[in-house]
Amino acid sequence: MRRLFGNVLMRKCVNALVFLLLPMVVTAQVKIPKEANRFTYWQFEYGEKIDTTVITVERYPDGSIVILTPTPKGKLIQGYCQTVTSVDYAADSITVTATYDDSSYYYRTGFSRNDLEWKVESGKWKTSVNSNTLIFEMDEKAPVNVTPLPYYGLNKGVLRSYTRNGQLRLKLAKAEKSKKVKSGKWKVESGRRVSPKELDRIMKERLVVTTRIFDHEQICWGKENAHIDSGLEAVPYDTVLHYAGGTLILKRVKLPILPYHYQHFVELRQQSNGDAYDRTGSVFIIPADCFPSFFDGINNHPDSLPIFTGRDGQRYQGIMLGNGIGSYEPPIELVRFFTPFGVGHFNERMKDYGIDWRKETYYRQEITDLYRYTDVCKNGEVVIGAWIGNYDAGGHLLTMDIKSYPNEYTLDDSHSPDVSIIPLFNTCNVLEMAGQNYGKLFGTDSLTVTFVIPNIADQARLRYISTGHGGWGEGDEFIPKTNTILIDGKPAFTHTPWRQDCGCYRDLNPVSGNFWNGLSSSDFSRSGWCPGTATQPVYFDLSPWIDGMDHTMTVAIPQGKPVEGMFSHWAVSGALIIEY
């Protein structure tokens, strides 16, 4: 929303100038000459002075019309197409033609709606669509028939204004006779003919930039570890490497550098390939240009990473920024997710249980605020990792895409801020199967890091993910625990990760444990997660600490005590996001 609001602000001055220069467009009743063949409409997104675009309607001598939208100025984004809508009033038909730069084009033919119930009074046609109240103000005395919104119906006369839910959306600005309008009928070229819904799908899909990261990749126990003789820079491109006995996969990719107005999402598809249990999973980026690198712990052993020794005497490898050694940065966590109990692999075994099991788990999470990190990683070059903790030879199958969606039609990036992303801590032990310790330090310690926000920053936030674990009745997995974040030793924020909607995902858990009372173990509320879901990050405003001074951030959690060999632990990750 901030990006969209920023775009609105950038256009305010331009649109205000337009309306100062053309005051009659908004305030005066436009006269419609008998010979008028060009009609200009203003289309509004947020009122009469914000986000205004132009729609032109040309009328031909036979009564048909063509609806044109202007091509945006500047270099256009991938997948943009020029569309033209032609309307044959006599046949009540509507044809849309979409033309692309690669010379491909599609067209569809449909008809105006006849299923709407209209209430007509004094030239205003009122109807309702999807709980929205629509009002069309028609000039029924006009000598011609023109509408830029033909799908709602080809009503008699000229559309003067269109209002949705009391907000002006479109208004006639000018009606004139123009010599530039063609004298014949608009010709539809013989492109590929598709249905209306298919054309809509094609137009949207071609705008999306999709980067495939992992394709049906197996994450399991028992695969031979890869090894790179030198550092992170030697990781080959577009090659999946297996580590931690096969439970962690890595791939070096080059993500596209896109304008700031794009929104970015990680899409994951996971299914069991033999493992029956709910497992912790994580997708992360390994920071470049720091020493030592988290890759050193992956490629060699977790003990090669900076060590924090807790009061419990245990060693915690590579969990926080710096930790007294070099410029070390922990992994930047993109998505924390949890596999359900055996979806896919065990569906057939439980087919008579009365539930229509899903074939796979689908996770979709926005990562726009972290995608900017790729801009500073050698022009989009990043190493992305994915981990699912398990000791099963079949394990899990994972597919991952990053999908990027534009919010504007041009590549203009003049309003893009500078962004710094600094990973502060990450106790999600993605190297668990290689010997990395669980995040159980909170039983005797808190986690403290030092951070600095330059005084030239505009804003700063902490992106925080926290999930509690300890899978018995009194373990932290099943008991709400308040996470307290202290700045300079003083409590600043609190967050209690807790999910009470786990029962909504029963159809993802075919081999979840079932109890005598009808509940399944996958139904139980948990500390920030459910089997088959992704955990949403929470954000804390750090703007009060924009001063260029050193500050400490401490995470404190009242972790439960171990019981008979069982222990609780917490997977927390935090990244500092600074905009200038």
pLDDT digit string (tens) for 230-249? 888 899 999 999 999 999 99
Residue 292's pLDDT is 87
CATH 1.10.10 fits 2-203, yes or no: no
SS3 98: strand
Q: Residue 125 to residues 134, 160, 366: CA-CA distances in angstroms? A: 8, 11, 41
Q: Are 523 and 515 in contact (CB under 8 A)?
A: no
The token pair that represents 295 in the structure block:
């890759």
Domain ranges of the chain: 2-203, 209-579
Report the alpha-carbon distance of residue 307 to residue 253 in Å, rounded.
29
For the chain, 580 residues long, give each residue's pLDDT as a single digit of tens.
333 323 333 333 333 333 333 333 344 689 999 899 999 999 998 766 666 789 999 999 999 999 998 889 899 999 999 999 999 999 999 999 999 998 888 988 888 988 899 999 888 999 999 999 999 999 999 999 999 999 999 988 999 999 999 999 999 999 999 998 887 777 776 688 999 899 999 999 999 999 999 999 999 999 999 999 988 889 999 999 999 999 999 999 999 999 999 999 999 999 999 999 999 999 999 998 788 899 999 999 999 999 999 999 999 999 999 866 668 999 999 999 999 999 999 999 998 788 999 999 999 999 999 998 876 666 888 999 999 999 999 999 999 999 999 999 999 888 788 899 999 999 999 999 999 999 999 999 999 999 999 999 999 999 999 999 999 989 999 999 999 999 999 999 999 999 999 999 999 999 999 898 989 999 999 999 999 999 999 999 999 999 999 999 999 999 999 999 899 999 999 999 999 9
Q: Are 257 and 374 in contact (CB under 8 A)?
A: yes
Are both 2-203 and 209-579 of the same fold?
no
DSSP labels for 455-518? TT-SEEEEEEEEEEE--STTSGGGS---EEEEETTEEEEEE---B--GGGGGGG-TTS-B-TTS
Residue 248's pLDDT is 98
The token pair that represents 150 in the structure block:
């033909």
Angle among Cα 134, 135, 140 to the nearest 5 degrees reads: 140
Residue 397's pLDDT is 98
* pTM for the whole structure: 0.90
Neighbouring residues of 553: CB distance < 8 A, sequence distance ≥ 6: 424, 448, 449, 450, 451, 462, 485, 486, 487, 574
Report the alpha-carbon distance of residue 402 to residue 420 in Å, rounded.
21
Report the alpha-carbon distance of residue 221 to residue 510 in Å, rounded.
22
Strands of 361-366's sheet, edge to edge?
A: 209-219, 396-405, 263-272, 361-366
Angle among Cα 180, 42, 158 to the nearest 5 degrees reads: 70
Length of the chain: 580
- Tabulate helix, strand, coil % of the chain (nearest 5): 15, 40, 45
CATH homologous superfamily for the domain 209-579: Peptide-N-glycosidase F, N-terminal domain (2.60.120.1570)
Chain-centroid distance of CA 430 in Å reads: 24
> Which of 282, 242, 262, 286 has its CA nearest to residue 378?
286
Strands of 124-129's sheet, edge to edge?
A: 119-121, 124-129, 132-139, 158-164, 167-176, 38-44, 52-59, 65-68, 81-88, 93-100, 105-111, 192-193
Report the alpha-carbon distance of residue 262 to residue 78 in Å, rounded.
12
Residue 372's pLDDT is 81
